[in-house]
Chain A
Amino acid sequence: MDRNRTQQIGFAVLTVSTIAVVGPILVVIGIVLVEGARAISWEFIFSMPYNGMKAGGIFPAIVGTLILTVGTALAAIPVGVAGTIYLAEYARDTWMTRAIRLAIVNLAGIPSIVYGLFGLGMFVLFLHMGTSIVAGVLTLAIMTLPVIISTSEEALRAVPIEFRTVSASLGGTRWQGIRYIVLPQALPGIITGTILGLLRAAGETAPILFTVAAFYLPRLPQSPFDQVMALPYHLYVISTQVPEMPVSVQYGTALVLLILVLSMNVAATVLRSYFRRRRQW
């Protein structure tokens, strides 16, 4: 066959595939946007639900998701980044570290319900934390760690090895090279990976199902050992568990969750491009 013809067919196949991937996403976003916009109001966002969640707002669920996301960040980022630095910069290449690395990659692909059940067994029951913010945050943190570690390690490895050698040749300790050269250069990648990990945590239902999420709790939490409502679980509840739920409330909740997650995504992109412009190699 004529090679130009082959190319045309190839392009056509690629275009159709792209549309097949992007199309449904755009349709979903479009429907949620149009339907949800009708429900969104000042009251919907900032007031408590009442009348069996059929009326009022979703304020406690929004606050709950924000608390869980920030808490997960606080718990997962220090441990994740420190562990990554050890794995990428200090650990020797032995069967042990290779096994750890393999485990981390696999952990990133484990279904979230498994993390939920682990959290239930470990934190809620065994460590007697009860169904609480602490238990939920720790469960989400464990789920997020593999994502943070594998993306951050990639970011650290992308920094040319020569920078470390130069730093050492100028009388720097290994840590000084990491602190002054490697980390600043790897930061965009680390930040992006971290936000993507947190994004998953913010949107998941299964890990918080047994560890923190409240079915209906029209007040804000008073301590880390309280339960909270959370957007993904709330959406699940009002879509499947409550009869005669107004559709507008469901779409409104979905829209709020979508906006929250998308804005984090945009933040990650903006940060990454900001740092990339400052990168000098």
Chain B
Amino acid sequence: MVGPKVLIKEVNYFYGDFQALRNITLEVPPRSVTVFFGPAGGGKTTLLRLINRLNDMVEGTSMTGRVLLDGKNIYDPGTNVTHLRRRVGMVFALPLPLPGTVRENITYGLKLAGYRARGRMEEILERSLTQAALWDEIKDRLDSPANALSGGQQQRLCIARSLALEPEVLLLDEPTSGLDPISTRKVEESLHELKQFYTIIIVPHSIQQAARVADHAAFLLMGDLIEYRPGTEIFTTPEDRRTEDYITGRFG
């Protein structure tokens, strides 16, 4: 049994007086897909953003508890946050290509890290776009503006942009919410490939998607972790009444 890649331990999280997460503890195993699902306002995105400390950018928040990456608390005062974010990549709900070309988008993170080697860049460009199932579609348009791509292509570009940094953990916050069914399937298929190399945590945009991709799934309801079990079990035989109600569509 390998240790957890990410360990969230007794985390409470507040936006001002509002408590968004209540005493959350869960383990994310390496090289697998873990799903955070539940109704809106349940704390899924907050929990996700804690893992690369993106919530640091929001004013007026506070937290207790620990988040461990490979056994090290990423909230220790000595943590290098920019280095952490290279290890824990993130893809957002809307495709957010940066101004510039496809190539510039992919190499932006490397440029930030002070990376210069030209030949390696080409290699990384092809590898990350291939992993995001985009290379064949746009290999001839690497120098055209990123926002000229279709929405689905843009979102896969954003995934590739994160992968270019070879993160250990990849966080995806409803990555297919703006996409058509075909693009959605492509993204889900690439997740299947990617979990051989990366630890993936995803907030899905539907229960169906959650059930399709989850190795493990956590059901979050109004800041509480209700149930956290392997995906094959939680969606077929939920233990908690509230999980069952949500999955069967009785509320949500």
Interface residues of A (CB under 8 A from B): 92-93, 162-173, 176, 180-181, 184-185, 279-281
Q: Is the pair A163, B96 in contact by a Cβ cutoff of 8 Å?
A: yes
In the complex, are the beta carbons of A166 and B98 less than 8 A apart? yes
- Give every chain B residue within 8 A of A166 (Cβ-Cβ): 92, 96, 98
Question: Which of B85, B96, B98 has a CB less than 8 Å from the CB of A171?
Answer: B85
Find out whether the CB atom of B96 lies under 8 angstroms from the CB atom of A170: no
Q: Considering only CB atoms, which chain B residue lies closest to A181 in the complex?
A: B98
Please determine whether A172 and B96 come into contact, CB atoms closer than 8 angstroms.
Answer: no
Q: A170–B147 contact, CB under 8 A?
A: no
B17 proximal to A (CB < 8 A): no
A-B contact pairs, 24 of them (CB 8 A): A162-B92, A162-B94, A166-B92, A166-B96, A167-B98, A167-B112, A168-B82, A169-B52, A169-B54, A169-B85, A170-B108, A170-B109, A170-B112, A171-B82, A171-B83, A171-B85, A171-B86, A171-B113, A171-B165, A172-B82, A180-B108, A181-B98, A181-B99, A281-B147
Q: Say whether B1 faces chain A, with CB atoms less than 8 Å apart.
A: no
Per the 8 Å Cβ criterion, residues 83-117 of B in contact with A are 83, 85-86, 89-90, 92, 94, 96, 98-100, 108-109, 111-113
Contact of B161 with A by CB under 8 A: yes
Q: Which residues of A contact B98 (CB under 8 A)?
A: 163, 166-167, 181
Q: Which residues in B have their C-beta under 8 angstroms from that of A168?
A: 54, 57, 82, 85
Interface size class of B (residues with CB under 8 A): 20 to 34
Give A256 to B94 CA distance when docked, in angstroms: 53
Q: Which residue of B lies closest to A92 (CB)?
A: B59
* Pair count A-B, CB < 8 A: 67
CB pair B92 A172 closer than 8 Å: no
> Residue B145 at the A interface, CB < 8 A?
yes
Identify which of A93, A162, A166, A181 gathers the most chain B CB atoms within 10 Å of its CB: A166
Q: What distance in Å separates the Cβ of B202 from its nearest Cβ neighbour in chain A?
A: 15
B57 in contact with A165 (CB, 8 Å): yes
Query: Does B162 belong to the interface (CB within 8 Å)?
Result: yes
Which A residues lie within 8 Å of B145 (CB)?
280
A280: chain B residues within 8 A (beta carbon):
99-100, 145-147
**Given contacts A176-B112, A181-B99, A280-B99, A170 and B92 within 8 Å (CB-CB):** no
Among residues of B, the one whose C-beta sits closest to the C-beta of A163 is: B98
Counting chain A CB atoms within 10 Å of each CB, which of B92, B98, B162 scores highest?
Answer: B98
Chain A at the B interface: SS class: helix
Bound-state Cα–Cα, A281 to B85, Å: 25
CA distance A168 to B84 in the complex (A): 11
Binary interface encoding of chain B residues 163-174 relative to chain A, with 1 for a CB under 8 A from any of its CBs, else 0? 001000000000
Q: How far is the CB of A164 from chain B (nearest CB, A)?
A: 8
> Is A281 within 8 A of B92, CB to CB?
no
Q: Quick one: given A181-B99, A280-B99, are A169 and B112 in contact (CB under 8 Å)?
A: no
Q: Is the CB of A165 within 8 A of B161?
A: no
Contact present for B162 and A184 (CB under 8 Å) = no
- With a cutoff of 8 Å between Cβ atoms, the chain B residues found around residue A169 in the complex are 52, 54, 85, 89-90, 92, 162
Within the assembled complex, what's the spacing in Å between the Cα atoms of A167 and B52?
Answer: 13
| A171 adjacent to B112 (CB under 8 Å) | yes
Tell me the bound Cα distance from A72 to B86 in angstroms.
Answer: 43
Alpha-carbon separation in the docked complex, A125 to B76 (Å): 55
Which chain A residue has the least Cβ–Cβ distance from B88?
A: A169
Report Cα–Cα, A280/B100, bound state, in Å: 7
C-alpha spacing A84/B98, complex, angstroms: 23
Interface readout for B42-56 with A: 1 if CB under 8 Å, 0 if not? 000000000010100
The distance in angstroms between the C-alpha atoms of A281 and B98, with both chains bound, is: 9
Contacts of A163 in B (CB 8 A): 96, 98-99
Question: Within the assembled complex, what's the spacing in Å between the Cα atoms of A180 and B110?
Answer: 13
C-alpha gap A223/B90 in the complex (Å): 57
**A228 to B145 CA separation, bound complex (whole angstroms):** 50
Nearest residue, chain B, Cβ from A280: B99
* Residues of chain A contacted by B113 (CB below 8 angstroms): 171
Q: Which residues of B contact A281 (CB under 8 A)?
A: 99, 147
* Distance from B93 Cβ to chain A, minimum over Cβ atoms (Å): 10
Q: Nearest chain B CB to A154's CB is how many angstroms away? A: 19
Q: Would B99 and A184 count as touching, CB distance under 8 A?
A: yes
Q: Known contacts A172-B82, A180-B108, A181-B99; can you find 18 more A-B pairs with CB under 8 A? A: A162-B92, A163-B96, A165-B57, A166-B96, A167-B108, A169-B89, A170-B86, A170-B108, A171-B83, A171-B109, A171-B113, A172-B112, A173-B82, A173-B112, A176-B112, A181-B98, A280-B145, A281-B99
Complex alpha-carbon distance, A156 and B90, angstroms: 24
B161 to chain A, nearest CB (A): 7
Least distance between A195 CB and chain B CB atoms (Å): 23
Contact A170–B85 (Cβ < 8 Å) = yes
